[in-house]
Amino acid sequence: MSDVRVRFAPSPTGYLHIGGLRTALFNWLFARRHGGTFLLRIEDTDRDRSTDAAIDAILNGLRWAGLDWDEGPHRQSDRLDLYRQKAMELLERGKAYWCVCTPEALEARRKEAQAKGEPLKYNGRCRERGLTNPTEPAALRFRSPEEGQTVVEDLIKGTIVFDNAVLDDLIILRSNRYPTYNLSVVIDDALMGITHVIRGDDHVNNTPRQVPLFEALEYPMPKFAHVPMILGADKARLSKRHGATSVLAYQEMGYLPEALVNYLVRLGWSHGDQEIFSMQDMIEKFSFDHVQASPAVFNPEKLQWLNAEYLKREEPRHLAELLLPFLEKHGYDRAGRVQPQGGLEAVVPHLCERAKTLVEMADWTLPYITEPVAMDEAAAEKFLIPAIAPSLNKFAQRVKMVEPFSKETLEPVVQLILEEDHLKMGKFAQPLRVALTGRTFSPGIYEVMALLGKEWTVQRIEQALHRIPSS
Partner RNA sequence: GUCCCCAUCGUCUAGCCUGGCCUAGGACGCCGGCCUUUCAAGCCGGCAACACGGGUUCAAAUCCCGUUGGGGACGCCA
Site for RNA in 281-310 (CB under 7 A): 290, 292-297, 299, 301-302, 304-305, 308
What angle do the packed helices 445-467 and 407-420 form, to 10 degrees? 50
Closest CA relative to residue 25, chosen from 225, 264, 194: 264
* 147 sits near RNA (criterion: CB under 7 A): no
Preceding peptide of 212 cis, ω within 30°: no
Pairing of strands 139-142, 96-99: antiparallel
Q: Among the candidate windows 137-145, 319-327, 328-336, 458-466, which touches RNA by CB under 7 A?
A: 137-145
Catalytic one of 121, 157, 240, 356: 240
* 45 sits near RNA (criterion: CB under 7 A): yes
Residue whose CB is less far from RNA, 179 or 257: 179
Q: Among the candidate windows 22-30, 233-241, 252-260, 398-406, which touches RNA by CB under 7 A?
A: 233-241
Q: Which of 1, 2, 3, 49 binds RNA (CB under 7 A)?
A: 49
Instruction: To the nearest 10°, report the CA torsion of 9, 12, 13, 17.
Output: 60
165: Cα separation from own chain's centroid: 39
Contact, 13 vs 39, CB < 8 A?
Answer: no
Q: Among the candidate windows 85-93, 154-162, 279-287, 317-325, which touches RNA by CB under 7 A?
A: 154-162
Total site size for RNA, rule CB under 7 A: 90
* 84 sits near RNA (criterion: CB under 7 A): no
Residue whose CB is less far from RNA, 114 or 278: 114
Closest separation between CB of residue 63 and RNA, Å? 21
Catalytic residue flag (residue 240): yes
Contact, 465 vs 389, CB < 8 A?
Answer: yes
Q: Among the candidate windows 79-87, 100-108, 190-198, 279-287, which touches RNA by CB under 7 A?
A: 100-108
* 237 sits near RNA (criterion: CB under 7 A): yes
* 213 sits near RNA (criterion: CB under 7 A): no
* 150 sits near RNA (criterion: CB under 7 A): no
Q: Which of 426, 466, 469, 470 binds RNA (CB under 7 A)?
A: 426
* 108 sits near RNA (criterion: CB under 7 A): no
Q: Among the candidate windows 51-59, 134-142, 279-287, 381-389, which touches RNA by CB under 7 A?
A: 134-142
* 128 sits near RNA (criterion: CB under 7 A): no
Q: Which of 130, 158, 331, 336 binds RNA (CB under 7 A)?
A: 158
- Residues 434 to 463 in contact with RNA, rule: CB under 7 A: 440-446
Q: Which of 56, 118, 381, 408 binds RNA (CB under 7 A)?
A: 118
Closest CA relative to residue 290, chosen from 342, 225, 373: 225
Residue whose CB is less far from RNA, 3 or 288: 288
Closest separation between CB of residue 408 and RNA, Å? 12
Contact, 229 vs 19, CB < 8 A?
Answer: yes
| Inter-residue long-range contacts of 440-444, CB under 8 Å, 24+ positions, other chains counted | 440/376, 440/379, 440/382, 440/383, 442/364, 442/367, 443/350, 443/351, 443/354, 444/350
* 151 sits near RNA (criterion: CB under 7 A): no
- Cα separation, 465 vs 19, in Å, equals 54
Phi, psi of 160 (to 5 degrees): -125, 130
- Residues 362 to 421 in contact with RNA, rule: CB under 7 A: none
* 203 sits near RNA (criterion: CB under 7 A): yes
Closest separation between CB of residue 333 and RNA, Å? 27
Residue 214, Cβ density class (10 Å: 0-12 exposed, 13-18 middle, ≥19 buried):
middle
Active site amino acids: 240
